Structure 1
């Protein structure tokens, strides 16, 4: 007979342990272990074991697998979303769409249903809203496709059975935290339910070759609830970033088996839904202050796309014994490192001063090429010397005060030219092989932070 025992599963990393701990022994997070029941099968005598099924006929050569190139991907009608997905929805793929409540996940799904419904049948499954509520939101967004079908249900087994029977070409699940399987322990949204429901949807998508998009909520830390127990099951993980009180949204791919994980899509939330932002650089540089210290422009690479952005720094006298260090959009540890380099190598003093760093537009920057513009913004805020509005800086900072090379220098230069900048300061080592002749912009190569500040 099968035996039932209790195990504790971490909702952050999915690690299992036989006893409860205040801190997960795998990922180190506190208060993340949840109790669940695990069924352990008793040993079956060798004499009663069934014969192993022969599956050798299921082995194919890779060149023997048929594939219709014209039907590999479905275009969603939003170029920004297609860019993030690697060109569109792949047949039989399972895509996880995460984000904070109210960020625009359900709005995005309904909008792409209008375009996809021209040529494909779509089943929109909602566990949070009734069919009438979905209809009201669809009417506001102008979605009236005749090929869009609604299903308000939370039983995952019944949903999969309906998908197999009706065979829609595309399925939307909103959201995975509301789905449940009756035979499992745990409430809706628990680790066990989320994992097994995702696994059941994955098998349905693969067997029927139906692409599915499932919505996932985020926890208090901003991560998709139960990410580690889901991300190895789904084919792509996309996350909506941005603030609900700001109109701009950024869709980022965290995992993608069928495309790059560095691409982003930029949207603007309007009364009629999400609108694509075709020129993110102009959007992020809009409203730049003129003649104000602590502001510096930079160019970041998001996949194959160069995007202009602005970093601002405010350095002011601290009212506390320990000065504050705050960073929004840039890793706080990099801010610590940049301040330490400025103090040690250039002799600037930040000891009794608060330092605030902010990337405008809600952008989250994680590439080292933004070290130099962040350092220039801190230097400008400290000395109260404005940086020219036609100057852009790029470069990675080493602990010795040197400016190291960055990739894609030529693409960044051309983007700066397109946006009308007059001078770009970047590492000298990055200019090797880059043609700067006849460019309407002055290119300055530097090898240290001091040279960069002198060139400003």
Structure 2
């Protein structure tokens, strides 16, 4: 008589197992994440096995085996490090509709355009739907192969037949592995599919790009072991109300995780934006009052952004504070410091403060831009053209230095800005073509601004 399989419940977030179902995981505290799966009795063996490859001294390993290949999209190569590593597995996660499939179809097209074969496997759409998108975005190539499959074994058959140099699977949660209990997207299936594809990549030196869904919290759906199995985890994010898309590295075994790639969603597909500062400031003509330009850091990448402020007489007795694209708790604090330390009446005005272009900034380096944009709106006096302001404002009205100030000012000078108002520097900072005005306090910065 066959031995009955033991049923366990595994948490999709941390991998915790329990013999019975629980509403909340005792390990990580997540609710509703325990899923049922069958598990046979474990069998441990201490018998030695013959190694398939002989162990070598580390100095004898060929380092050129990890060379990178350009994908054809510069922003993606920037986030990956320098390109696609053969035998690597990249997991790209993002919310539905953000453009993951469109971006990877563009990657497959660029890859196939260099006389290399790319195989795009879709388990969510029909082949006709993907073909229509490729025609709309101009991604039709003779060496780009397309297969609509959800069975993992069949995908391996396509790989053996086509012999591509790049494999894209859309998505890992919709693939089904034969012989594994559970439905597609479950804990057991997702783990088995990812492990099999990782083994395929390592044994054949085939780079694989996977599409992954995310939960309501923005995390990769499925067990956290998926992120440990793959080499690179990328997060493709963006606001539905904006065309701007950001590609961030969460995990990268071949490069840094602080690089950011910028893209723009258009009617013709995804377009990379090598100069995001120009995208945020392309609309600026004559400098209006209530507007200030600052330099924000997204990872290690400086980007110029515009902060606008509008102050009007309040409609109700209590003035309103409406903030878009900035820290909603920090902006009222900056306005209070502007009143307490500079004598500006902000408590009897409705204040609307926002960034332009869909960019979201949460770092404190924009404090000075918020304060001076509000001052400009109160006095109906625009800031001098080609001027950037960078600095953190303290409760005592002092200006504090921010990290990477030199890199920020170099980016401003590169885009043609000629003046900058920054906190007092410990040592002189010379930037060609940029005149730097230093201020110890917010009141001193306002005085400098009034004299320009």
For 2:119, which of 115, 120, 123 is the aligned residue?
123
CA distance in 2, matches of 1:187, 1:349: 62
Cα 1:15–1:420 shift into 2, 3 Å: farther
For 1:434, which of 429, 434, 441 is the aligned residue?
429
1:232-247 matches, within 5 Å, as: 232-247=228-243
What is the number of residues matched between the two proteins? Answer: 446
Q: Corresponding residue for 1:91? A: 86
CA distance in 2, matches of 1:343, 1:232: 51
For 2:9, which of 7, 23, 29 is the aligned residue?
7
Can you give the 5+ residue segments of structure 1 that lack an aligned partner in the other structure? none
Q: Corresponding residue for 1:403? A: 399
Q: Corresponding residue for 2:73? A: 78
Select between 151-160 and 224-233 the one with higher mean Cα deviation: 224-233
1:193 equivalenced with 2:194 (yes/no)? no
- Alpha-carbon deviation of 1:424? 0.4
Equivalent residue of 1:87, what SS?
A: coil
Cα 1:276–1:34 shift into 2, 3 Å: closer
Select between 343-352 and 156-165 the one with higher mean Cα deviation: 343-352
Q: Corresponding residue for 2:442? A: 449
Cα 1:139–1:57 shift into 2, 3 Å: closer
- Normalised by the length of structure 1, the TM-score is 0.83
Write the deviation string for residues 357-379 of structure 1: whole angstroms up to 9, x where unpaired.
43322223344423332343345
Q: Corresponding residue for 2:97? A: 102
CA distance in 2, matches of 1:41, 1:100: 35
CA distance in 1, matches of 2:102, 2:35: 34
CA contact (8 A) 1:10 1:16 kept: no
- Alpha-carbon deviation of 1:40? 4.7
- Alpha-carbon deviation of 1:64? 1.4
- Normalised by the length of structure 2, the TM-score is 0.84
CA contact (8 A) 2:35 2:186 kept: no
1:39-438 matches, within 5 Å, as: 39-42=38-41, 49-53=45-49, 55=51, 58-68=54-64, 72-117=67-112, 118-160=114-156, 162-163=158-159, 166-226=162-222, 228-288=224-284, 290=286, 292-315=288-311, 327-335=323-331, 338=334, 341-342=337-338, 356-381=352-377, 386-429=382-425, 432=427, 434-436=429-431
Select between 132-141 and 354-363 the one with higher mean Cα deviation: 354-363
CA distance in 2, matches of 1:313, 1:190: 48
Select between 213-222 and 332-341 the one with higher mean Cα deviation: 332-341
- Alpha-carbon deviation of 1:343? 6.2
CA contact (8 A) 2:108 2:119 kept: no
Can you give the 5+ residue segments of structure 2 that lack an aligned partner in the other structure? none
- Alpha-carbon deviation of 1:351? 6.1
CA contact (8 A) 2:307 2:369 kept: yes
CA distance in 1, matches of 2:35, 2:279: 48
Equivalent residue of 1:281, what SS?
A: helix
- Alpha-carbon deviation of 1:423? 1.6
CA contact (8 A) 2:235 2:248 kept: yes
- Alpha-carbon deviation of 1:293? 4.2
Select between 79-88 and 19-28 the one with higher mean Cα deviation: 19-28
CA distance in 2, matches of 1:224, 1:244: 19
CA contact (8 A) 2:336 2:347 kept: no
Cα 1:40–1:106 shift into 2, 3 Å: closer
